[in-house]
Amino acid sequence: MNFKRIVITGAPGTGKTSVIKALESGDFHCFHEVIRTMTLAVKAEENPNLSLGNPIAFVSDAKQFNQQLLDGRLKQYKDALKANQELVFYDRGMPDVLAYMDYFKQAFTTEFFDICNTHRYDAVFLLPPWEDIYIQDNERLETYVQATELHEHLKNTYTNLGYKVIEVPFGTVAKRLSFILEHKAISRA
């Protein structure tokens, strides 16, 4: 089956999960963010009393953590073949791993870049930081300032990999959903 792979990305607290949940409610196949469960597991295993911060900044083996994250997203990419849907959505894509590693000044091998470059998505929608809806919690560990910086790293990483990044305007979940589904990048025509 011919289908399109669509990434919904953005810094923490931009509304990605709400958009993904709305897509699922509309019977679209969505892959959820894999780092959420990884983050909770790392905090529980390594330091349950740890203050807030991104897990790739505090894990004992950042390279291994990032490799596990990339592998999880690569598995989702491959699992999309089984979805039997015209459109498949991802809550973050493989290039997000590179963007975060770059932001936290962590070195990565060419293998990370090669995987991102050879497993391509059909469209990338970037949700910008939105201070009015930003809430820091046990899973959203970055400050709003860090979120704005991460936004730029995400945008630059996808752009440098040759993607045309489509920025989703602020608005209700319904308006954002309409913007995405009606965009020519994923038109079914």
Q: What pLDDT, on the 0 to 100 scale, is given for residue 52?
A: 45
Would you call 138 helix, strand, or coil by DSSP? coil
- Domain of residue 126, CATH code: 3.40.50.300
Q: What is the number of domains present in the chain?
A: 1
CA 121 to chain centre: 12
Q: What pLDDT, on the 0 to 100 scale, is given for residue 36?
A: 63
Which amino acid type is present at position 107?
A
In the β-sheet with 87-91, what is the strand arrangement from edge to edge?
29-31, 87-91, 4-10, 123-127, 165-167
Q: What pLDDT, on the 0 to 100 scale, is given for residue 188?
A: 59
CA 97 to chain centre: 8
Q: What pLDDT, on the 0 to 100 scale, is given for residue 63?
A: 85
Structural domain boundaries enclosing 60 = 4-186
Q: What pLDDT, on the 0 to 100 scale, is given for residue 138?
A: 63
* Beta strands in the chain, from DSSP E residues, in sequence order: 4-10, 29-31, 87-91, 123-127, 165-167
Q: Are 13 and 129 in contact (CB under 8 A)?
A: yes
Residue from 120, 129, 162 nearest 147 by CA: 129
Q: Give, for all 189 residues of the chain, the pLDDT tens digit.
A: 589 999 999 998 899 989 999 999 999 999 998 876 666 565 566 565 554 455 565 667 888 889 999 999 999 999 999 988 999 999 999 999 999 999 989 888 899 999 999 999 999 999 999 888 887 776 666 788 989 999 999 999 999 999 999 999 999 999 999 999 999 998 754
150 is written with which tokens?
């991460």
10 is written with which tokens?
């953005």
Please list, in sequence order, all residues whose beta carbon lies within 8 angstroms of the beta carbon of residue 158, skipping any fewer than 6 positions away. Answer: 9, 93, 95, 99, 124, 126, 165
Alpha-carbon distance values, 31 to 26, 35, 45, 48 (Å): 14, 12, 25, 27
